[in-house]
Structure 1
Amino acid sequence: MSTAAGTDSTGQGHDPPAGSYWSALLADEEERVARYGLGAGILLVAFGRELLHHLDDADRLLAEARILGLIDRHLGWTDRTAVVAPGRLGVVVVPSTAADLARRAALMHHGLRERGLDVEVAYAYRRDEGGLRAAAARADAALDTVLARRWASEWPVPVRTDEERRRY
């Protein structure tokens, strides 16, 4: 399974654009989590490049809506979802423990794979420093790492002989 708990405490990853729904969702949930002392985490789901590669923007939105519908089967009633980027969906999981978040990531990954979706799932638990925004960045960085490793294994670089290297 390709789940990961993030990279480091710096929260390296993609920062959501200011004013985006995902950014607003993270801010709203962070306020609620901090106010009530709830545990929370982030699940990020990336679905295969081939699923959306050939689609125009309107069809891509329909495909994302269908995938959101499948993801919905793995969510609790307090979880909130948003499209983070094309081919990438985010879930704020509240309330949660670190162990529950890892379990849910594994169940979501296996459940979506069983439905025939080419997906990868990453997760990160909220820490006091940095909050949900930092957790989202850690999950994003972890997902990028998983996808880069997968892409590298799918597209191996050919090994050239010494003679071939001299020609180029």
Structure 2
Amino acid sequence: MGQFESKLAEMGVTLPEAPVPVANYVPYVQVGDMLYVSGQISLGPDGPIKGKLGDDMDAEAGAEAAKVCAINLLAQVKAACGGDLDRLVRVVKLGGFVNSTPDFTDQPVVINGASNLIGEALGDAGKHARAAVSSPSLPLGVAVEIDGVFQIK
């Protein structure tokens, strides 16, 4: 087990097998040393984490859903790196989409669930640019979807 996965294990996180796409796309594309990972929904071991922020879900629960998205993103990075997450050089950017009501304004708080997990697990390599935007709905009714750009070696 490498450095990043050891830190995740200390945090109580085990990366699952990389989720398979649910439509006609690939889970990631590598161009040079850049890895573009398709949006990962809040799909946990017990199924999709559904909800609409500002309606039937609060920001804290949304942040937990975003954390699941981050775990799924890292699982895709690990798969792209042939099982060696330590090939990750840095997280470049995350794009966070929050299923929320028109008056919900805590999208950054929700996406912090992903940013905080990545920052704690990866240290300086986890410092990233980010977007956190609202969406009127997301696939399968999930609460959060996050895509990412990563630099790998």
Query: TM-score, structure 2 length as denominator?
Result: 0.32
Normalised to the residue count of structure 1, the TM-score between the two structures is 0.30
Higher relative contact order (CA 8 A, sep 6+): 1
